[in-house]
Amino acid sequence: MNTTLCNAVGTALVAIGLAASGAASAQAQSKLSGNAIRIGVLTDLSGLYSDISGQGSVAAAQMAVDDFIAANKPGYKIDVIAADHQNKPDVGSGKAREWYDTQGVDLIVDVVNSGVGLAAAKVAGEKKKLMINTGAGSTRITNEDCNPYSIHWAYDTYALAAVAGRAIVQGGGKSWYFLTADYAFGQSLEQDTTGIIKTNGGTVLGSVRHPLNASDFSSFLLQAQASKAQVIGLANAGGDTINSIKAANEFGLTKSQSLAGLLVFISDVHSLGLNVAQGMQLTDGWYWDLNEDTRKFGRRYFEKMKKMPGMVQAGTYSATLAYLNAVKAAGSDEADAVTAAMRKTRYNDFYLRNGHLRDDNRMVHDMYLMQVKKPAESKYPWDYYHVKATVPGDEAFQPMAASRCPMVKKT
């Protein structure tokens, strides 16, 4: 074959290859609704959970999108939008419906606040669009209120109880009294922790429920003090946890009783200070200072937000990137195809260790028992935790045999 003919054949083969590649790319893109992906961060931008989620979750989702685009250079647009659900289930479900119906949203993430999470998950199920819940904690999300389109990613109330609650009871804290936020999250956390306490030989002497975003904890703490329980279990979160711990110290309650912050975030510890929070045991799904990978992400986030991320914000990054990688693997943003791709994946990255998505849509992964350091033990800013134990996901999360999720087939 002469040189001219060889060049002509080579050019033709290259042209055919490019055409085939372009056709494959066009076919993959054609499976995306509107040749674009839109991610909605439904969060608390102004209330008691804004420090643990809020603008930090929006920034984390955008970081995940930027990283995915840099690594994959997709031929489609990816947008991140955000809304404040105001910790109101009707506002949250209304925004989810609007996003799915008229804004082209393919995925909703964060959804901090269990009442909002449960309400918005019903909309996701109705619309057959994905929601990955990184912020809400109620185990109802993957139990009686589960659906194929609502995934629970970061933590839940069972894991909080199974890790820190069990450790406190086994360490001698046998009698408990609960100070509980009066909505789905607090109720689930009290119920799950009560089960762990009793299983491990402890007793619950009573509980008192306070409204979300309570302004005064004095009457609730007086009832807890009168119970004479060894441990006051704080079944609340965010600003409510911070304010109840501050009030308990002002009342002198901590001189005779110990506080169990069942959901404490690193931003809470930062706000309280080590003098107040020192010695407290807690459950966490992620800590910025665990290893070099977590530190790398923490420092990147800090450059943007001027504070370290907690497990909700890091979890929002993780869930967003996992979703985008699943869209790539499936060649589609159709929810069932994306979920199927996620189920095939085993996760070991900066956020998830030994992670896998179960049939009840619970992302199972290692959890950590932490203890807040004494001031003298902290060597640099945001150096707040001792890692007391790593708890495998199958021990931390509710076993499938106990599941109340209708999607789970009983054997």
Query: Does residue 110 sit in the same domain as residue 78?
Result: yes
Identity of the amino acid at 136: A
Query: Does residue 88 sit in the same domain as residue 222?
Result: no
- CA proximity to 240, closest of 180, 309, 287: 180
- pLDDT of 12 higher than 60: no
Q: What's the mean pLDDT in 70-85?
A: 97
- pLDDT of 17 higher than 50: no
pTM above 0.85, yes or no: yes
Query: Does residue 381 sit in the same domain as residue 234?
Result: yes
Assess if residue 164 is contained within a domain: yes
pLDDT of amino acid 411: 58
Assess if residue 335 is contained within a domain: yes
Helix, strand, coil percentages, rounded to 5, for the chain? 50, 20, 35
Q: What's the mean pLDDT in 152-169?
A: 97
- CA proximity to 159, closest of 373, 314, 344, 390: 390
DSSP-assigned states of every residue in 124-154:
HHHHT-EEEESS---GGGGTTT--TTEEE-S
Query: Does residue 294 sit in the same domain as residue 358?
Result: yes
- The number of residues making up the chain comes to 411
CATH of the domain at 246: 3.40.50.2300
Q: What's the mean pLDDT in 290-300?
A: 98
Q: Which structural domain, as residue segments, surrounds residue 120?
A: 34-155+290-366
Per-residue confidence band for 34, with pLDDT thresholds at 50, 70 and 90: confident
Is-contact 234 254, C-beta < 8 A? no
**Looking at the 3D structure of the chain, how many domains does it have?**
2
Query: Does residue 165 sit in the same domain as residue 129?
Result: no
Burial code (b: 16+ CB inside 10 Å, e: under 16) for 44-53 equals bbebbbbbbb
Q: In which order are the strands placed within the sheet that holds 77-84?
A: 77-84, 36-43, 107-110, 130-133, 150-152
Structure tokens that stand for 263 in this block:
């959901």
Q: What is the pLDDT of residues 382-411, one digit of tens each?
A: 999 999 999 999 999 999 999 999 999 875
* Distance (Å, whole) CA 55 – CA 52: 9
Query: Does residue 110 sit in the same domain as residue 61?
Result: yes
Better-scored residue on pLDDT, 280 or 409: 280
Assess if residue 404 is contained within a domain: no
Is-contact 321 67, C-beta < 8 A? yes
